[in-house]
Structures are given as C-alpha cells and as structure tokens.
Amino acid sequence: MTLRVTNTAKTYPDGTKALLPTELSVAKGEIVSLLGPSGCGKTTLLRIIAGLETPDAGSEIWFGNDNVTSLPVERRKVGMVFQSYALFPNMSVRANVGYGLKMQKLPKDEIESRVTEVLELCQLQEFSGRAIDALSGGQRQRVALARAIAPRPRMLLLDEPLSALDAALREALRDELAMLLREFHITAIFVTHDQDEAMAIADRVAVMSHGHVVQSGTPEELYRNPNSPFVAGFVGNAMRLEGKVAGSTLHLDGGELALPRDGTGHNVFVRAEDVQIDTEGPLNGKVESVTFFGTHYRVGISGIMTDVLTSTYAGQNAPKVGERVEVSIKPEALMLLPEGAEI
Amino acid sequence: MGVRPSPYGHTMTNRTFVLACLTPLFIFSLAFLALPLVRLFLESGSGEAGWAIYLDILRRPRYLNTLVLTVLVSLATTFAALAISTTAGMFLSRNRFRGRGTLLSVLTLPLAFPGVVIGFLIILLGGRQGLVNQLTPGHVVFAYSVIGLFLGYLYFSIPRVLLTVMAAAEKLDPALEEAARTMGASPYRVVVDVIVPGLMPALIASGAIAFATAMGAFGTAFTLATNIDVIPMVIYTEFTLSANIAMASALSIVLGIVTWALLLIARSLSGSTVAAGG
C-alpha cells in the first residue's frame, strides 16, 4: 500500500508547532526512515500517520485510495512498534502476538495457526509460552514486531525500535530488523535519531529538522549530495571549511584548495574520511590529537582553519601529536552548499 | 536468610545487630498484639456456654444475620467504592483542568472526618428532618436503613481507594493503551485488557483497606444503626449493656477471622489471575 501525506501539520493547544506543513509519500513495500534530532517532529509525524495524534485542519493522509485523515486509530489497520515495546505484561508471548487477531474476531484455529506462523518467522517459537518479564530486550523487540505484523496491517510503523537496547545488541539487531522488514514485504516507516540505523535499514531516508522534512532520498544521495549544512552535518558529520572562496579556489589559513566549480556564494564542507594526510598535499597543519579506533585513527589537525580539522587515517603509522603534516582534499570530495541555507 | 557472607567475617555480628534492632518490635508485638489476642480468645470461652459460644453465634439468628449483613454491606461498599474511585481516579490522573485540585480535595475530605460525623452527614441528607425528605413529596427516609449505612461507608471508602488508584494510574504506560488501540481494541477492550490488569495490584490493596475499614466501622454505625445492627455494634452492646464479656470476645474473634479470611481469598484470587495471565 502506498502512503501519501499532504499539507500535514500539528500545532499543540499551547501554540507549539510540532510539525510544519509536511509532504511525504511512501511507495508500496518501501522502507522509509524519518531521521532527525529529538524534537524535530519525526515522532509526531509517525503518530499522525498511525492516528494517535490529530493533525491540524487541512492535513490529509491517504492510504492508497482511502483518505484516512478522520479515521480513528482502531480502524486504520496499522501495525505499530513502540519505543518501550508496550507489550502486555499480563499476557504470554503467544497472547500478545494473537491480540490483534483476537480483536478482529477471527476463528480460534485461524488465530492459532497465524500466531504460530508469525512466531516462526520471528524465531520466537521456543518463547511462545513465556511471560513478558522473562524475556531479554532483543526478544521483547521481536515479540513487539511479531505482534505488530500478525494482524497483517496495511503499514508498519516503528518508533525508535532499537533505542531501548544496549549498544552492542543494537548493532546486531539492526541488521536482523532490516532483514525481517524485507521478509515481511510491507510498507514500513521507522523513526530514529541514529543515522547509522537509518542508513542500514531504510530504502529511503527523510531527514527532519525543526518540524519539517529537510531532504529525502536514498542513504547514498543524502550522504553524497546533502542539500543543506544540517543534512551534511547530521548524516556523516561533515565539517565546514572556514575560509575565503575566490572563484574556484578556497583560501584557508593553512593553504589553498581547488574547488570543483565556482564556489562564489557557497560554503564548503568536507568529511573526515576525505581529508587525507599526504606529503604532496597543498595544506599544512600541526597534529593536535590522535585517537585510535581499531580500524582507523582519528587525527585532529590545527592551523589549517580556526577550528580543528579532523582526518581519518587508515594506515599503520599514524602521525604523532605535535608533528607538522601536509593534507590534501580531492576537489570532488568537497561539498558546496549555498550560503544562508542554515537550517 | 538474605544475609550475604561477609569477606571480613562480620556476618554473625551483623545478624546479632539486626536482631537487637528488632527487639523493640518484638516486645511491642507481644505486649500489644499477641497477649491481648490470646487473652481475648481465652475470655471468649469463659462464659456459661464455654467454647460452645462459637456454635451459639452460628445458631442464633441475631448474631448470624448481623454477621452476614455486615459482610454484605462491607462487600457492597468495597465494590461500589472501587467502581466509583477507579473511574474518577483515571479521569483525574489523565486530565488537567481548572478546579481539579479543589475537586480532589473535596473528594478526599471524608478522610478528615470521624465516623460519627459521617453518620451525622447522612442523617442530614436522608434522615427524618433530612434534605431529601424535605424536598420530595413522599416520605423518603433512608438514613437509618442499610442504604444509609452503605452510603456512609461508601463516603469514607472513596478517598482511600481514589488516592491509591490515582497513584497507580499515573504509572500506567500510555503506550500500552495505544498499542491495544492500533490493533483494533474498542475502548471497552482497552479497559478490560490493559487498564484493569495494570491497576489490579492497586485495586486489591485499596479494596482490602476499604473492606476491612467497613467491617470494623463503628462511629458511622453507632450514629445510624437504629433499625439494623452490624457486628461492631453488637460487640459494643454485649460488652457495655449486657456485660456479656464472653460473647463480646467471641464476636470480636469471629469478626477478625472473617475479615482476615476474605482478604486472604481476595489476595490469592488476584495472585492466580496474574499468574494465569502471564
């Protein structure tokens, strides 16, 4: 089922604008992530789609050819995974997963066979009789997912589904979740504040800030062609090179850089992995800090611009603190974003 | 039990210290709880009938009927208080509006009154000179009947249940209700499947308090019960008017046992529903 959200906004009674008029469409079977810092309106948008929040007048939400804007949550047929999982503590795993089917008043044997099928899909067979408080965090997450998809919803909505887990588990479950979502063949929207999570799971990412969608695209597009300093910074931690643009040259404290095109009226951004320590490099600076990360070193270099420029160094012999180094940045790695596009 | 072996070998001294701390409690329990209870029990068998006095209670309608009535009024009070206070408590904990604080303080006002005053209030409402009697054309007097007693008990039970339910309602995860609703649950199913199970421990605890308070209520009954009798009233009359100390003691013991047994049943029932659900 396709989802189309048009002109949808949310203003709270106290005047707070949680969501500015927003457009979003999600194709059938597409997995879209709403990515943004806390308070950017991503959860509000998800809850409006679910029917848990009433949007402002003029908003429209279409599920395929049905306008569901005024339909209450009970009748929208969406599956939702909550941040806290919200599993019913007074019911077993089986009863939790079967709850939506029971509400649809399906025959008992049909419920049983559907629950068994979903439990198998989510590898939960052995826990089916367990109480919720006897499950680990990862198992709870799978039960929440199984419960949401068991009634065959039109769409799956996930609100920060991994944030309740500890870091080590989160990474493992991220890939598992991505795999399961693709197995379900279901249109899914999930909210997260973690760019790695969004990029690993989603087909398309909508980056949100201050109540609206700043940019939407595949993870690659967002990473390579951000349309604003906010997206460049939030997706992949791009740094601004503080210098003077003159035609297609950037003048920095530590040297000059060639730009890929005329950069007049633009700010220049770069990512740490594109800043290379290179004896032939045109820029010159002093090593301020070296941090070892296992796969690479993170080297902070001062003297090239006012702030420290960070470089990712993958070799064996990292430079020492205090050494002077030459740095090069390929013109195609520089991102030129119009000035004043500060969002 | 529960004392971890200490690497410094202080375990024994620790335990002695804890026992020393418990001594005042032990002495207090013995002096003010165990000894009077034993005395009360022995006293109940010291009458003319001896231990057959307990059979007497069951055989004589005056005692047995009063006992049944006391239990029934207390049960009715408990369930009515649970129903009213749960609804009101859920509403008050979910909504913020002008006058909420005032409403809450009015609802908890009965906590400040002794039973006699509550009985008096019921008489002002439903007595011969009461408000209802004056406003209605017929002769409506309910203050001195079971209804008056029930209303009086209900009045002082509501705040006890209300405060406990509100504390529990604030701890309910709103996502649980939302989850049920996304799966198509009607408001009625949300109450049955999510809210009541979530509030169950608080309902059991506050229901037990309401029930035990109603079973032992004296002041309200003393003011209202001219036509009817409840057990605490009978104990009082046996003791002061008839000087039948044995019967007063026996009735006290029976009152205690019945209350305790019913609370035990309620607790085990709730325990089994939770276990069965999990």
Q: What is the pLDDT of residues A308-332, one digit of tens each?
A: 999 999 888 888 999 999 999 998 8
Provide φ and ψ at A264, rounded to 5°. -60, 130
Choose the CATH number for B52-270 among 3.30.460.10, 3.30.70.260, 3.30.365.10, 1.10.3720.10. 1.10.3720.10
CA distance A62 to B123: 62
How confident is the model at residue B276, as a pLDDT?
A: 37
Q: Is B197 on the interface with A (CB under 8 A)?
A: yes
Q: Given an 8 Å threshold on Cβ–Cβ distance, is A83 in contact with B175?
A: yes
Mutation target vs B (from A88, A157, A159; most B CBs, 10 A cutoff)? A88
In chain B, the residue whose alpha carbon lies closest to the alpha carbon of A131 is B278
Is B179 part of the contact surface with chain A (CB cutoff 8 Å)? yes
Q: How confident is the model at residue B274 (pLDDT cuts 50, 70, 90)?
A: very low
Mean pLDDT for A132-138 is 90
Cβ–Cβ contact B175 with A under 8 A: yes
Domain ranges across chain B = 14-44, 52-270
Q: What is the pLDDT of residue A216?
A: 93
Mean pLDDT of A78-82: 94
Contact residues, chain A, for B189 at CB < 8 Å: 103
> What pLDDT shows up at residue A342?
54
Identify the weakest region by mean pLDDT among A116-120, A337-341, B183-187: A337-341
Query: What is the pLDDT, as a whole number, of residue B277?
Result: 36
A81 pLDDT higher than 90: yes
- DSSP secondary structure, B134-179, as one string: HHSSS----TTSHHHHHHHHHHHHHHHHHHHHHHHHHHS-HHHHHH
Q: Are A311 and A276 in contact (CB under 8 A)?
A: yes
Whole-angstrom Cα distance, residue B84 to residue A113?
41
Q: Does A12 touch chain B (CB under 8 A)?
A: no
ipTM: 0.84
B173 to chain A, minimum CA–CA distance in Å?
A: 7
Report the percentage of chain A scoring pLDDT > 70: 99
* Strand ranges for A259-322 from DSSP E: 266-270, 276-277, 283-292, 297-302, 309-313
CA distance, residue A122 to nearest chain B CA (Å): 19
* Chain A interface includes B170 (CB < 8 A): no
* A75 with B184: Cβ contact below 8 A: yes
Lowest mean pLDDT among A31-35, B46-50, B260-264: B46-50
Are the C-beta atoms of B240 and B177 separated by less than 8 Å? Answer: no
- Any CB–CB contact under 8 A between A133 and chain B? yes
For residue range A248-272, what is the model confidence (pLDDT) as tens digits?
A: 889 988 888 888 888 888 889 999 9
Q: Quick check: B272 pLDDT over 70?
A: no
Backbone conformation region of residue A247, classed left if phi is above 0, alpha if psi is from -120 to 50, else beta: left
What does the alpha-carbon distance between residue A9 and residue A41 come to, in Å, rounded to a whole number?
A: 10
In this predicted structure, the answer to whether residue A205 has a pLDDT above a threshold of 90 is yes
**In chain B, whose CA is at the least distance from the CA of A129?**
B278
Q: Which of A271, A273, A245, A240 is nearest to A257 (CA)?
A: A245
Q: Where residue B5 falls among pLDDT bands split at 50, 70, 90?
A: low
Name A120's Cβ contacts closer than 8 Å, sequence gap at least 6: none
Cβ-based contacts of A84 with chain B (< 8 Å): 173, 175
Cβ–Cβ of B179/A80 closer than 8 Å? yes
| Banded pLDDT at A97 (limits 50, 70, 90) | very high
Kindly give, in sequence order, each residue whose CB lies less than 8 Å from that of residue B7, ignoring residues fewer than 6 positions away: none
pLDDT band at B271 (very low <50, low <70, confident <90, very high): low
Range A197-202 average pLDDT: 91
pLDDT in tens, B204-227: 989 998 999 999 888 888 888 777
- A52 — contact with chain B (CB < 8 Å)? yes
* CA–CA gap between residue A270 and residue A93 (Å, rounded): 48
**Averaged over B158-179, what is the pLDDT?**
91
The stretch B62-72 carries a mean pLDDT of: 90
Q: Out of A83, A92, A99, name the one closest to residue B183 (CB).
A: A99
Determine, for residues B182 and A50 on separate chains, whether the beta-carbon distance falls below 8 Å. Answer: yes
Q: State whether residue B193 sits within 8 Å of chain A by CB.
A: yes
Which of A78, A88, A90 lies closest to B182 in CB terms?
A78
pLDDT at B2 over 60: no
